[in-house]
Amino acid sequence: MVCRRSLIRSSKRIIFMNKILCLLKIIIIIFLVTGCSEKKENEKLKFVSLAWQKESIETNKSIIIKWNELNPQKQVEYVQANWNSIYDYLITSFETGDVPDVFHYEASMITDFGTRGNLTDLKPYLSENIKDDIYPVAWQSVTLDNGKIIGVPFLFESLIVLYNKDIFSENNITPPPADKPWSWTDIRNIATALTKDKDSDGEVDQWGAAFGLRSSANIIINLTLGCGGNYFYLEDNEYEFRINEPEKFLLSTIHDMIYKYKCASPLAVSQSGSNILPAFYNGKYAMVIGIGTWARQQLIENAPENFHWGVLESIEEVTQEQGSNTQTLSVPSGSKRKKDAVEFIEFFLGRANLAKLALGDWMNPTRISCRSMQEFQSDSLGWKTCISIIDNLKMGPWLRVPGFSEWKGRVANPLFQEYFLDRMSLEELEMRMNEESNYVLSRYQKK
């Protein structure tokens, strides 16, 4: 009997302790949930930026400081990234779920992320003001075939021709007016006239032109539009890669300038655009062709004070068109604060802020209202010529091509480099690019 009472008392104690433990567990869970929620609400929005020029980085940070002053409950953390590693960073972020709230990239590289569902459709979040004030060609670069907007375009990456004013003047060459731009034949003829062996030692001292072609896919495909080419053609709702006569024209024109007419530097072929600028401002090259508008900032910072340079009107073959690639701000679909993220983007890209960003990066702004600002209409430092390029921007079909980023990195850049280094013929380039390009496309376009 005593044992039975003892057992009953023990059982009651066990039941009581279990209830206490359950209650403690519930309290802990509630604490964790509410604690995490409070932490989540107070966490900073993470903004990953690819700004790399000093002035641009300072502008980015100053805008964020202003935002944080005005929005104490929606603080933004600035995270500096770089163009060489951002793709791998994003791939890892999407796989692990540890994503930033806003990231900076470019239209040609975010399409694949958008089609995989990694990016938020921004259309429901964007105000009418920003929708109406950004050029339609810019919106096209970030709008998927299903109508989803996967980024806000804010800077146009446009290509220009820089020229040495003193070399032109010494040779009585006048740059063309806006209504009579040079063709590729004109460019070749001018480059030939300006290529000289000044000291008669059998070596060229001054090249008429230079192309920075180390990673040339973007340059080639964008400039090909003005020659009437596309590279990617839509057939039965699938893209097919082809090198037709317009594509061959530009490829052979550049190749011939280097090896047949010997009026473009062969040394520049394996260098990037920024790497050939010192030779330009030291008088080695009369023209630098197909470099980004951003290069002007490098000249301001690094060129000698007595170096005089200008920007030529865009080359016109069939048209003056070139591809419209934009720098973008996107919100990952895994972000928990999409509304706050888009609110920050709209503040970051307000008219005055975007003007500062464009001036800091020396690139064209995508907001229509920025174009009339005095800074962009000045003849000084090539701004008026650069801003006029917007009128000839066209969305390249490659922005809709599945697997474009892989094609550019694994097929186009290596094969173009081999061709421009004169290691293969145009016929061999055509054969290999057709085969390897369509193989990549077939993997992404399986029915």
* 237-285 pLDDT per residue, tens: 899 999 999 999 999 999 999 999 999 999 999 999 999 999 999 999 9
| Whether residue 215 is found in the same domain as residue 347 | no
CA 400 – CA 356 distance, rounded (Å) = 30
In this prediction, residue 13 carries a pLDDT of 53
pLDDT single digits (tens) 369-410:
999 999 999 888 999 999 999 999 999 989 989 899 899 999
Q: What's the mean pLDDT in 163-167?
A: 98
Query: Does residue 223 fall inside a structural domain?
Result: yes
- Nearest to residue 313, comparing CAs of 159, 158, 161? 161
Q: What's the mean pLDDT in 81-104?
A: 96
Check whether 174 has a pLDDT greater than 50. yes
Helices (H) and strands (E) in the chain, counts: 19, 13
Check whether 12 has a pLDDT greater than 50. no
Angle at 145 between CA 323 and CA 399, to 5 degrees: 25
CA 63 – CA 318 distance, rounded (Å) = 42
CA 408 – CA 404 distance, rounded (Å) = 6
Check whether 28 has a pLDDT greater than 60. no
| Whether residue 172 is found in the same domain as residue 254 | yes
Length of the chain: 447
Q: What's the mean pLDDT in 200-218?
A: 95
Q: Which two tokens stand for residue 255?
A: 């190749």
Query: Does residue 39 fall inside a structural domain?
Result: no
Q: What's the mean pLDDT in 203-230?
A: 96
Query: Does residue 7 fall inside a structural domain?
Result: no
CA 395 – CA 28 distance, rounded (Å) = 55
Query: Does residue 392 fall inside a structural domain?
Result: no
Q: Which two tokens stand for residue 323?
A: 């591809």
| Whether residue 272 is found in the same domain as residue 412 | yes
Reported confidence tier of residue 34, pLDDT bands at 50, 70, 90: very low
| Whether residue 227 is found in the same domain as residue 251 | yes
Using the Cα atoms of residue 420, residue 425, residue 426 and residue 428 in order, give the sign of their dihedral. Answer: negative
Residue 12's φ and ψ, nearest 5 degrees, are -65, -40
Share of the chain above pLDDT 90, in %: 83
CATH number at residue 429: 3.40.190.10
Query: Does residue 192 fall inside a structural domain?
Result: yes
State how many domains the chain has: 2
20 vs 72, residue with greater confidence:
72
| Whether residue 52 is found in the same domain as residue 136 | yes
Reported confidence tier of residue 445, pLDDT bands at 50, 70, 90: confident
pLDDT single digits (tens) 302-335:
999 999 999 999 999 999 999 988 999 999 999 9
Reported confidence tier of residue 219, pLDDT bands at 50, 70, 90: very high
| Whether residue 331 is found in the same domain as residue 192 | no
Reported confidence tier of residue 52, pLDDT bands at 50, 70, 90: confident
Using the Cα atoms of residue 365, residue 118, residue 62 and residue 124 in order, give the sign of their dihedral. Answer: positive
Are 278 and 440 spatial neighbours (Cβ–Cβ below 8 Å)? no
| Whether residue 152 is found in the same domain as residue 163 | no
Query: Does residue 433 fall inside a structural domain?
Result: yes
Check whether 182 has a pLDDT greater than 80. yes
In this prediction, residue 17 carries a pLDDT of 55
CA 88 – CA 328 distance, rounded (Å) = 17
In this prediction, residue 418 carries a pLDDT of 98
| Whether residue 193 is found in the same domain as residue 103 | no
Check whether 29 has a pLDDT greater than 80. no
Which of 387, 409, 431 marks a domain boundary?
Answer: 387
In this prediction, residue 20 carries a pLDDT of 52
Check whether 353 has a pLDDT greater than 70. yes
Beta strand ranges found along 150-200 (DSSP E): 152-157, 159-164
| Whether residue 257 is found in the same domain as residue 163 | yes
| Whether residue 164 is found in the same domain as residue 226 | yes
CA 383 – CA 171 distance, rounded (Å) = 25
Query: Does residue 332 fall inside a structural domain?
Result: yes
Check whether 81 has a pLDDT greater than 50. yes
| Whether residue 181 is found in the same domain as residue 114 | no
Q: What's the mean pLDDT in 192-220?
A: 96
| Whether residue 291 is found in the same domain as residue 422 | yes
On the CB side of 160, how many CA atoms lie within 13 Å of its CA? 28
Residue 312's φ and ψ, nearest 5 degrees, are -80, 155
Q: What's the mean pLDDT in 183-203?
A: 96
In this prediction, residue 380 carries a pLDDT of 85
Are 206 and 264 spatial neighbours (Cβ–Cβ below 8 Å)? no
Classify residue 194 as left (phi > 0), alpha (psi -120 to 50) or beta: alpha
Residue found under tokens 């697997």: 403
Query: Does residue 1 fall inside a structural domain?
Result: no
In this prediction, residue 54 carries a pLDDT of 86
Share of the chain above pLDDT 70, in %: 90
Angle at 366 between CA 363 and CA 53, to 5 degrees: 30
Q: What mean pLDDT, rounded, does the chain reach?
A: 91
Domain extent for 299:
159-324+397-444
In this prediction, residue 228 carries a pLDDT of 97
Please report the DSSP string for 52-99 in residue order: -SHHHHHHHHHHHHHHHHH-TTS-EEEEE--TTTHHHHHHHHHHHS--
